[in-house]
Amino acid sequence: MLKDGSVLNLLELRAEGKSIREIARETGFSRNTVRSYLRHEGTPERAPREAVPSKLDPFTQRLDEMMASGVYNCEVLLERLRELGYAGGKTLVKDYVQPHRPPHRNRTTRRFETPPGKQAQVDWGICIYHDVHGIQRKVPVFVMVLGYSRSVYVEFVRRCDIYSFLRCMYNAFVYFGGVPEVILTDRMKTVLIGMGDDHKPQWHALFADFALAMGFLPKVCRARRPQTKGKVERAVRFVKENFLPNRRFTTLDDLNVQASAWSDKVNRRIHGTTGERPVDRLKDESLKALVGPEKLTSFLSEERKVDSDGYFSFGGVRYGVPWQYGGSTVRVRTVAGQVEAWLGDHRIATQERSNAWSGVQHLPNQYKGMPMDDVTLRPVGAGIQMHDVEVEYRPLSVYDQLSEAVR
């Protein structure tokens, strides 16, 4: 594009009656350029360019929906878009998302590093998701992070109770291959009953016994200072922002299978702080040896009361036991996908663990041998059992005659 002075010079030369050839020779511009500027008597207007379609165009509506739900992480967005067929790069996604990002607040926190095998941090998180019907639901997640290697373990559960917590902790130790020296938690009600007059934590008795059996020292972070366990705080946020958004799953087991595969992938990436892969640093953690599960039965099982109809509740599902044990208190545990009910040293029932969030699991032959006149114990929804009774059959005309008589 010519400068305004050059354009004015072209017009003046033309006004003097010089030809396009002469003007081009004097100014050094091409004849086509001179002709174009003279024709428009100034700067020619550019022809509008045809918009070039972007690879991102078919997916912008989906991007807007995910950002509206609070997802701005471009790694997550890129992964979800590629599942939908997006073949472009991350730069297109970042450029589209950047104007929509909420303002970022900078906060400074002193970093605290721990030597190998010294500490692990644990915490609960409550994750929000939408089921296949679009209904918003919540699911708790347990996260443990080893302080030195940054190796992470993730498990979703039905409830944030002490039994779920201990099972998750044991599963995490198995995943890492050992037990760290110290477990740091926040002041969660799951394990902390309160603080004594000496300002020392009063632990849940079952948690304290579990710590003694596994050989770790429980510690609690400072009040109103979640930064003191920042590694697991960031890990929980990472699960919420990078794993769960737009995740599709059918059951809790399905979700945990996906979470395990995702954790393996995360533990094989270069960590932003250490500059190494957590899976490589895990070899240097020097963790304590694991205690066998046979010594942890009291921690990995739960007490449940059997109702009068022969069912106990476990994980939101009601499981049946032989009718003779109605009203008893049994210990329940899960082993290899089975739910076992024990009374003392006697296993009274074994059923396949249900993946449903609720419902009833009937035990085959649950009421076999039950006296016919005992109607207290009966299958759920079966009503009262009655002996066979002969019923006299009458033609409908008899009832019509009775109806006329009443009138």
Tell me, yes or no, whether 386 and 323 share the same domain.
Answer: yes
Whole-angstrom CA distances from 106 to 94, 98, 103, 109 are 20, 17, 10, 10
Tell me, yes or no, whether 243 and 362 share the same domain.
Answer: no
Residue 374 makes CB contacts below 8 A (sequence gap 6+) with none
Tell me, yes or no, whether 287 and 334 share the same domain.
Answer: no
Tell me, yes or no, whether 11 and 157 share the same domain.
Answer: no
Tell me, yes or no, whether 268 and 325 share the same domain.
Answer: no
Half-sphere exposure of 120 (CA within 13 A, CB side): 29
The predicted-structure confidence for 237-272, as pLDDT tens digits, reads as follows 999 988 988 888 888 888 999 999 999 999 999 988
> Does residue 17 sit within a domain?
yes
Residue 167 pLDDT greater than 70, yes or no: yes
What tokens were used for 238?
A: 């990472």
Residue 174 pLDDT greater than 50, yes or no: yes
> Does residue 324 sit within a domain?
yes
> Does residue 52 sit within a domain?
no
Tell me, yes or no, whether 209 and 348 share the same domain.
Answer: no
The predicted-structure confidence for 393-405, as pLDDT tens digits, reads as follows 566 665 566 556 5
Rounded to whole angstroms, the Cα distance separating 358 from 356 reads 5
Tell me, yes or no, whether 400 and 350 share the same domain.
Answer: yes
The predicted-structure confidence for 345-396, as pLDDT tens digits, reads as follows 888 888 888 877 778 888 888 888 887 655 454 444 444 344 444 555 566 6
- Mean pLDDT score, 141-147: 93
Domain interval for residue 24: 4-39
Going by pLDDT thresholds of 50, 70 and 90, the confidence category of residue 286 is confident
Which of 294, 327, 353 represents a domain boundary (last residue)? Answer: 294
Helices and strands: H and E segment counts in the chain: 12, 14
What tokens were used for 21?
A: 């050839």
Query: How many distinct structural domains can be found in the chain?
Result: 4
CA-derived radius of gyration, the chain: 36
Cβ atoms < 10 Å from Cβ of 317: 20
Tell me, yes or no, whether 146 and 269 share the same domain.
Answer: yes
Tell me, yes or no, whether 31 and 61 share the same domain.
Answer: no
The predicted-structure confidence for 40-55, as pLDDT tens digits, reads as follows 665 555 656 666 778 8
pTM: 0.61
Residue 396 makes CB contacts below 8 A (sequence gap 6+) with none
Residue 140 makes CB contacts below 8 A (sequence gap 6+) with 124, 125, 126, 127, 156, 157, 158, 159, 160, 164
Cβ atoms < 10 Å from Cβ of 229: 26
